[in-house]
Amino acid sequence: MVGKLNEEGYKDLVLVDDFTREDKFKNLEGKTFKEKIERDKFPEWLRNNHRLTQFVFHLGARTDTTEFDKKIFDKLNLNYSKEVWNICVEYGLPLVYASSAATYGGGEFGYEDDHALVEKLKPLNPYGDSKNDFDKWVLKQACKPGFWAGLKFFNVYGPNEYHKGRMASVVFHAFNQIKKDGKVKLFRSHNPKYKDGEQLRDFIYVKDVTAVCIWLLKDRKHSAIYNLGSGKARTFLDLTKNVFAALGEKSEIEFIDTPADIRDKYQYFTEATMEKLRTAGCEIKFHTLEEGVKDYVENYLEHNKHY
């Protein structure tokens, strides 16, 4: 996002994060920004500097779907987000924040980004709960920023996820497994409706995510919670075969049991309905899975390059 903002001519940026992680430093190399503020100090900084602030992107969160300590999510994803929201309301600052497709749980209510559905949704883990709890809270607020948008990110992949460990995309893990072993291990299906590797997800390239964020920054007309996916579910086999193809290698795929700690919390299908964002006027053409994986592998992973 910082790189994309720089490309668009925005250089006077204030970055907010936990900056103790050295493995994230490379993401900021070559980027132009004004200063870095530690996450815990940002609310106070924003109150003191609201007159100099034009727009807030609140994309940071605890995203570990294998973490089950609700207190961590309450602190970082729910209460912190409420504080940022309230400051933006108080000083009239536009806000875009990250929600998640994890809010849709098993998909029993579909994948429509309809505000009326938010109260009904049943996420499968505390991470999804925390994101949905904030969405529910937002919709109940009588006072809102002049412009705001919540983005339900689906399965995002792309450059600058070297630091993410287990939570990095399947593209990233597949690339590294192919380089190391010449094959990829995918989770076996534990659902009789889906064959091994034919679990379906909506994979969205990170460059499309940032393009939509920039569009919202410039447009600022239609406040709402929006889905942000490609709009087309694809199988993990499709994804993996595209990584092999980008490397010019023959596909070799092995199936392993889904880890017990996430097996009963696993989404077998996600697919964003994208009409709402398109109706709001967003005409950005997204990468196909083939285009996104090829760009990511050939231009970034193969050269250990950052965006």
> Any idea which residues carry the catalytic annotation?
127, 164
Report how far residue 293's alpha carbon sits from residue 289's, in angstroms, rounded to the nearest whole number.
6
Q: Tell me if residue 242 falls in helix, strand or coil.
A: helix
- Three-class DSSP labels, 272-302: CCCHHHHHCCCCCCCCCHHHHHHHHHHHCHH
What angle separates helix 80-91 from helix 126-140, to the nearest 10 degrees? 20
Using CA atoms of 230, 233, 239, 241 in order, give the dihedral in degrees to the nearest 10.
-130
Residues in the chain: 307
Token pair recorded at residue 218? 């410039």
- The letter for the amino acid at 232 is K
Phi-psi region of 181 (alpha: psi -120 to 50; beta: other; left: phi over 0): alpha
Report how far residue 179's alpha carbon sits from residue 193's, in angstroms, rounded to the nearest whole number.
32
